[in-house]
Structure 1
Amino acid sequence: MTAKHQMVTPGYLPFDPDPGKPHIVLPAGACDSHCHVFGPANKFPYSPTSSYVPVDAPKELLFKLQEFLGFERAVIVQASCHGTDNSALVDALQASRDTSRGIAIVGPDIDDRELASLHEAGVRGVRFNFVKRLKARQSLEDRLSVVEKIAPLGWHVVIYTEPEEMDEIQPFLEGVDVPVIFDHMGRVPVEKGADCPEFERLERLLTSSDRFWIKVSCPERLSKKGPPYLDADAVSRRLIEILPDRVLFGTDWPHPNMVSHMPDDGLLVDRIARICPDETLRRKMLVDNPTRLYWT
């Protein structure tokens, strides 16, 4: 699984071409609920407004990796490098033969015909980036306009945010009446554990309504200690404990915009045994919850 050489953002690390085989055996129907496809650039160009240009990570490599890791299904999330052009995402969904679902990025001008086409391809939600350092641009009004259009389709919203942005996005959270999934453990400072003010605020929000879901993903972005990311375990375990019916797991392959190190995806999967030793909860996180959200 070698990434094709191309001009990419300086300092951008390519994904691990030779991850270890996980020791854990995932349950039948296991779903990686957060991964991406990028390019190839010669077929699906990257957006000129993107804050980074990634290494190509096409669908063929994703599907091969998923099988190697033990996942039978995937949720492919559109990332900002492709902007609102969801062509690479749709291409991957169509090739997956119903084993994948998608999360798109769309603008407020999208019409019902375009949304219907995305739905037919397997898209089931939209993603909003609230992280200012990643050049988040959409206004609150534009985001709410998009939510109004997707609600009749039964879609949900995926949001990428950080604790310092929670006050600013509160009006958005109060203004939507569709499920909201927080990416990457809400990016709480995992090194502080599950008793810090940032986590306590996230917990209060998550348990305030059954509209809110969370992804236990990206310890490699949040850890201060590096592999095997032990300092992220307390937060991960607590989230699985408090939200067993609304928690998802994702690898975030191919780990866009990582500059410190590139994780071993086999190690990330093996981490499941450590943060979720209970097989009933593990099945909920990997099989039952994504099935209910994406395949029913």
Structure 2
Amino acid sequence: MSASVSLAQSHSFRVDTHAHVFERGLPLTDSRRYAPDYDATLDTYLQLLNTHDIGRAVLVQPSFLGTDNRYLLQALSRDTHRLRGVAVVAPDASEEALADLHGRGVTGIRLNLIEQALPDLGAKSWTPLLERLSKLGWHVELHRNAQDLAPMLDRLLEAGIPVVVDHFGRPDPAKGIHDSGFRSLLGYGGTGRVWVKVSGAYRCAALGSSFVHEATSQLVEHFGAGRLMWGSDWPHTQYEHVMNYGQSLSTLLEIGLDAAVVDAILCTTPALFYGFDQESGNRCASSARVAPSHNATACAPGSA
């Protein structure tokens, strides 16, 4: 039975773990690589979720807005049951500021380091923030080329912080699964503390290539479906002309994965990881009521 058919029959709530909302005219960070010339509003995004039967979603702070999370928080306030957030903060973010974000639906921070200088996460200037993140039970979401991930993963794991790696780990498009950084990333599957988003494949592979199938299969083998999560990467910034929401979802549904694996990646794993309510309204297939915890080594059915 194909994954797409079984999902249609399972009535599971799907979770989109990676999307951005923004409007023109918002204050932009000086360090931005670019800025979109269009609006990607929450109303538009929610319509897409409804159209594609996506029950929950995670909004990730766009890089070009820097540490100004006001628009993200405004969006989260619209539906605290359906939405979670990943913010961007400065290394000196106070305990009070993080607690405020926590109370408003934020569950972690993102380090978007594409075309940025690599931070020394082992430096004393980062220690207070890492300790505060650990205390809150938050995760760090890493977005960086695959070849540079290992040192940062090592430091974050040493600090006891769960890590989510963006977009297949961003291997070199010319190397795909043969990128040494991607091969190194696979070795972190055994830690039980690293999750990977199978999202934004167009950022690290040629459209129409076999990368998504090959990379996802290897990630399932090394991490298990209990450590993988799907994200649409809407509105597909800088790739709007080659991708839309439906295609992004089909990228996962049409590569021939086992139905139980797809259910875990799309439903159960993210529902548990981001702490979405699993009582009435959330019908993730075969998931029992489990207290969400980033410290668990088996987060969902299908874990390896």
Indicate the TM-score class for this superposition, using the shorter chain for normalisation. Answer: 0.7 to 0.9
Q: Equivalent residue for 1:240?
A: 220
Aligned counterparts of 2:139 and 2:150: Cα–Cα separation in 1? 21
C-alpha distance in 1, partners of 2:126/2:237?
Answer: 24
Structure-1 separation of matches of 2:69 and 2:193: 26
Q: 2-side partners of 1:282 and 1:193: how far apart?
A: 22
Matched, 1:129 2:104: no
- Separation of aligned partners in 2, 1:143 and 1:129: 16
Q: Does 1:294 align with 2:287?
A: no
Matched, 1:103 2:83: no
Q: 1:262: Cα distance to partner? A: 3.0
User: 2:235 aligned to 254, 269, 294, which one?
Assistant: 254
Q: Structure 2-normalised TM-score?
A: 0.79
| Cα contact 2:18–2:233 (8 A) shared by 1 | yes
1:173-188 equivalences under 5 Å are 173-188=156-171
Structure 1 residue 48 displacement after superposition: 3.5
2-side partners of 1:71 and 1:248: how far apart? 14
> Counterparts of 1:53 and 1:101 in 2: how far apart (Å)?
24
Distance in 2 between the 1:285 and 1:117 partners? Answer: 30
**Which amino acid in 2 is paired with 1:64?**
Q
d(CA) in 1 for partners of 2:51, 2:171: 30
2:16 is the alignment partner of 1:32: yes
Quote the Cα distance in structure 1 between the aligned partners of 2:202 and 2:14. 21
Aligned equivalents of 2:154, 2:210: Cα separation in 1: 34
CA distance in structure 2 between the aligned counterparts of 1:229 and 1:31, rounded to whole angstroms: 25
| In 1: Cα distance, 2:251 partner to 2:34 partner | 29
1:136 to 1:32, Cα distance in 2 relative to 1, 3 A:
farther
TM-score (norm 1): 0.81
Shift of 1:230: 3.5
Unaligned runs of 5+ in 1: 1-21
Whole-angstrom distance in 2 between the partners of 1:84 and 1:48: 11
Task: State the identity as a percent.
Answer: 30
Aligned to 1:66: 49
Asked if the contact 2:157–2:193 (Cα under 8 Å) also holds between the matched residues in 1, the reply is no
Question: Quick check: 2:145–2:172 contact (8 Å CA) kept in 1?
Answer: no
Name the amino acid aligned to 1:291: A
* Deviation of the 1:265 alpha carbon: 1.8
Shift of 1:196: 5.2
| Mapping of residues 1-296 of structure 1, within 5 Å | 25=8, 27-38=11-22, 40-42=23-25, 44-54=26-36, 55-131=38-114, 133=115, 135-136=116-117, 138-140=119-121, 141=123, 142-166=125-149, 168-169=151-152, 172-189=155-172, 192=175, 194=177, 197-207=180-190, 209-224=191-206, 226=207, 228-243=208-223, 244-258=225-239, 261-275=241-255, 277-295=257-275, 296=292
User: d(CA) in 2 for partners of 1:265 and 1:28?
Assistant: 19
Specify whether residues 143 and 70 from structure 1 end up closer, same or farther in structure 2 by C-alpha distance, changes over 3 A only: farther
Q: Is the contact made by 2:147 and 2:171 (CA closer than 8 Å) also made in structure 1?
A: no
Give the partner amino acid of 1:75.
V
Ranges in structure 2 where 5+ consecutive residues have no aligned partner: 276-291, 293-304
The structural deviation recorded for 1:117 is 1.4
Query: 1:138, 1:215 → 2: CA distance?
Result: 22
Query: What is aligned with 1:6?
Result: none
Q: CA deviation at 1:248?
A: 0.3
